[in-house]
Amino acid sequence: MNRPLVIFYAIALAFHATVLFYLKPPAPKPPKIFNETYVDVTLTKPPEPEPPKPIVVPQPKPEEKPQSPPPPKPEMTVPELKPEPPPPAPKPVVIPPPQPKPPTEEYVPVTQPTFAQPAAHVYPPEAARRHQQGTVVFMLYINASGTLDKVDIVKSSGFPLLDAAAIKEMKQSRFEPAMDGAIPIRSRAQASVTYRLE
């Protein structure tokens, strides 16, 4: 190999090494560590962006037709309060007059009645079982035909059974009318019926 060529290569290598030495940047100094602290750092994914909301374009409202005004309400007429009529006056209670008894003046009093056909004297069995005794006194009103118009009890025997039996006996009896000369007249007289156990 030629010597000049070798020298040339040697100079080129030396030049190249020099250039690299000066062009190589100095090594960085290690950072000073004052306090060693370890922090756990968790990397979280950023939230995914929400999808964009659709934009709703409001549709134009149809034009409202002007409504005709409502018909006016009829005015309410308040009826005039009529004064209440006064309550009707209570009707007077009409008490019928008592029926007039046969005027005693029309019945001529006599001492005693005259029996044309006396009724049978019956002692009430129930009164006999109860040993009821007594006398019933009547006022008999006899018309001109000898019929008994009315009988009133003047004195009771004290027992309803005896009083009822005595009235029945008087009503079933026939009488002779009292006479005013040759004319029969109405008369009234007392009579009695006695119930006594033997």
- Going from N- to C-terminal start, the domains of the chain cover 114-195
Give me the pLDDT at residue 162, please.
92
33 or 138: which leads in pLDDT: 138
Tokens of 32: 């000073």
Average pLDDT of the segment spanning 145-164 = 91
Q: With residue 21 as reference, give the H or E element that holds it.
A: helix 3-23
- The CA–CA distances, whole Å, from 60 to 55, 57, 63, 67 equal 15, 9, 9, 20
CB contact at 8 A, 191 and 164? no
Q: Which residue has the higher pLDDT, 1 or 192?
A: 192
Does residue 53 surpass a pLDDT of 50? yes
Q: What is the rounded average pLDDT of the residues 4-29?
A: 67
Residue 82 has pLDDT above 90, yes or no: no
**Domain 114-195 falls in which CATH fold?**
TolA/TonB C-terminal domain (3.30.2420)
Give me the helices (H) in 41-151, please: 125-129
**Count of beta carbons in the 10 Å neighbourhood of residue 144:** 14
Full-model pTM: 0.46
**143 pLDDT above the threshold of 80:** yes
C-alpha to C-alpha distance for 133 and 162, rounded to whole angstroms: 8
